[in-house]
Amino acid sequence: MSSNRLAREKSPYLLQHAQNPVDWFAWGEEAFEKARGENKPIFLSIGYSTCHWCHVMEHESFESAAIAAFLSEHFVSIKVDREERPDVDQVYMAFVQATTGHGGWPMSVWLTPQLRPFFGGTYFPPTDVPGRPGFITILRRIAELWENERDQIEAKAGSLLSALREAESEAVAQPNDEWDTAKTLHLAIGQYSRMFDPQEGGFGGAPKFPRPVNLQLLLHLTAKKDIPAQDADTARGMALHTLRKMALGGMHDHLGGGFHRYSVDDEWHVPHFEKMLYDQAQLAHVYLTAWQLSGEDLFAKTARNILQYVAHDLTSPEGGFYSAEDADSLPRADAARKTEGAFYVWTRDEIGEVLGADRLDEFCAVYGVEPGGNVSAASDPHGELEGCNVLIQRLTFAEAAERFQRPLENMEHRLNDDRAALLARRGLRPRPHLDDKILTAWNGLMIGAYARAAQVLGDTSFLDTARRAARFIRDHLFHPVTGELLHSYRQGPSAISGFAADYAFLISGLIDLY
């Protein structure tokens, strides 16, 4: 199979598409010159290497010879790794969100040769489905409009861009703006309260994202002395309840540690299975804060669990932190295709083979394992998890000890052994793809998490991990004479200069480390 020009790139995401029949370009002047020279619109596809729906759209559309031929005839096709080029992603995501009301990846945007967007969306099925046009239908319609109504498209692109710029300028606070901090915080807590799920925690319904920045804000308000006690108690209750539910839920990997991307249901049970470094960093921070404020062992244990996962599975030999692990993996080494969550889910029989009959009932009761699987059809639209279980802690260790008439310490010891045995068995399965790109911004977040953990939990091994990562960034992604940062590293430093987030998050992490 022949490769396209993405084979020259370093990005794992772009390399995943190097065998597509699509005539892909990377973001750059080569593609822009072709679009201007041939007066063709640009099809811009943005995603990242561990994105499940990116894989789906690739398999359905970008591996199609017919779709590839149509793209080559009518468009210049550009592929962008949103983690490698967050600047490009941010610009066109703002357009998609403003014009469709939502965003996400894969992101699909059509641009004029001058890079002005005029139509966009996220995932498109290859052909029409009820209520939704297919990708090929959209391509044909845009090609027809470009041929016959090009002036109108370019005028629309210009007016949309002007409207976005105007909205952006209105949203920016001005130097002389005044606001009542206490009133603003009171309004914020009220808004969170209206969205809060008092049963399962979190804000709003499915899908549920952890949103650690919101939780960190609520915990910060808990500690403020100048807000009403009722507001502080409300903020504290919402944040701690959410963090407990997340720690016990299936979005938390109870065997290997760390958190998956988000939950597709409203009880944190069935996750979207990829694991992102920046989620681990931010959640470690917020669980450390929760432990400081509450003293609940669950929070310290969860923070430690996250950091141990990152040290074991997302740390390079040189000390930098990798970006992510994929949602999809092969169910078996000889399987023809990857499926979502295959590495993480279990049948009850598989668990019985590892633990034996005498331990099976206890473990299954604690972790919600059912003979026919515990994943509902609503949480499994492709039927990939049928008959499988996502581990979710339904009983606390104290409740389990009471139910099975065992001393608490004995119950904890048995369950720890059971999880270790299942983790060892899971380690024999084909692992998900690892995105081994090292991003300066995300490493800054993680350095800060390890440094804080060393101080808060008193564990010097965490300090050593933070120091090694900081040295890696200093040695490979920092120019000591100019003070400039580079954005990423994979098989050597990239040529992409650092963005504002790289400076901000690394500086924050280094202050924590200092």
The CATH number of the domain where 37 resides is what?
A: 3.40.30.10
Total structural domains in the chain? 3
Tell me whether residue 143 is in a domain.
yes
Q: Are 24 and 6 in contact (CB under 8 A)?
A: yes
Whether residue 104 sits in one domain with residue 229: no
Whether residue 143 sits in one domain with residue 55: yes
- Of the candidates 473, 464, 465, 423, which has an alpha carbon nearest to the alpha carbon of residue 444? 473
- Of the candidates 215, 224, 182, 219, which has an alpha carbon nearest to the alpha carbon of residue 196? 215
Encoding tokens for residue 421?
A: 């045995």
pLDDT value of residue 168: 67
Range of the domain at 255: 181-287+330-433
Dist CA 63 CA 19 (whole Å): 8
Q: Are 196 and 203 in contact (CB under 8 A)?
A: yes
Dist CA 247 CA 425 (whole Å): 23
Tell me whether residue 506 is in a domain.
yes
The three-point CA angle 344-259-389 to 5° equals 30
Q: Are 432 and 325 in contact (CB under 8 A)?
A: yes
Q: What ranges make up the beta strands (E) of 82-145?
A: 107-111, 117-121
Residue reference for tokens 């041929």: 147
Q: What ranges make up the beta strands (E) of 220-374?
A: 262-263, 271-272, 275-276, 324-325, 328-329, 339-340
Q: Is the peptide bond before 480 cis (omega within 30 degrees of 0)?
A: no
Per-residue pLDDT tens listing for the chain (514 residues): 678 999 999 999 999 999 999 999 999 999 999 999 999 999 999 999 998 889 999 999 999 999 999 999 999 999 999 999 999 999 899 889 988 888 889 999 999 999 999 889 999 999 988 888 999 999 999 999 998 988 888 888 888 777 777 766 666 666 777 777 788 888 999 999 999 999 999 999 889 999 999 999 999 998 888 888 899 999 999 999 999 999 999 999 999 999 999 999 999 999 999 999 999 999 999 999 999 999 999 999 999 999 999 999 999 999 999 999 999 999 999 998 999 999 999 999 999 999 999 899 999 999 999 999 999 999 998 889 999 999 999 999 999 999 999 999 999 999 999 999 999 999 999 999 999 999 999 999 999 999 999 999 999 999 999 999 999 999 999 999 999 999 999 999 998 999 999 999 999 999 999 9
Q: Which of 433, 467, 482 is the last residue of a domain?
A: 433
pLDDT value of residue 507: 98
Tell me whether residue 176 is in a domain.
no
Dist CA 468 CA 221 (whole Å): 33
Whether residue 491 sits in one domain with residue 369: no
Q: Are 282 and 442 in contact (CB under 8 A)?
A: no
Residue reference for tokens 């470009």: 146
pLDDT value of residue 399: 94
Q: Which of 367, 398, 433 is the last residue of a domain?
A: 433
**Up-side HSE of residue 235: CA atoms within 13 Å toward CB?**
24
Whether residue 244 sits in one domain with residue 192: yes
Q: Are 323 and 310 in contact (CB under 8 A)?
A: no
Whether residue 371 sits in one domain with residue 359: yes
Can you tell me whether residue 472 is helix, strand or coil?
helix
Tell me whether residue 28 is in a domain.
yes
Q: Tell me the CA end-to-end span of the chain in Å, nearest whole number.
A: 51
Dist CA 445 CA 473 (whole Å): 12
Whether residue 258 sits in one domain with residue 361: yes
Whether residue 186 sits in one domain with residue 45: no
pLDDT value of residue 151: 85
Whether residue 306 sits in one domain with residue 283: no
Q: Which of 381, 405, 433 is the last residue of a domain?
A: 433
Whether residue 428 sits in one domain with residue 345: yes
Whether residue 257 sits in one domain with residue 190: yes
Dist CA 460 CA 466 (whole Å): 10
Whether residue 118 sits in one domain with residue 254: no
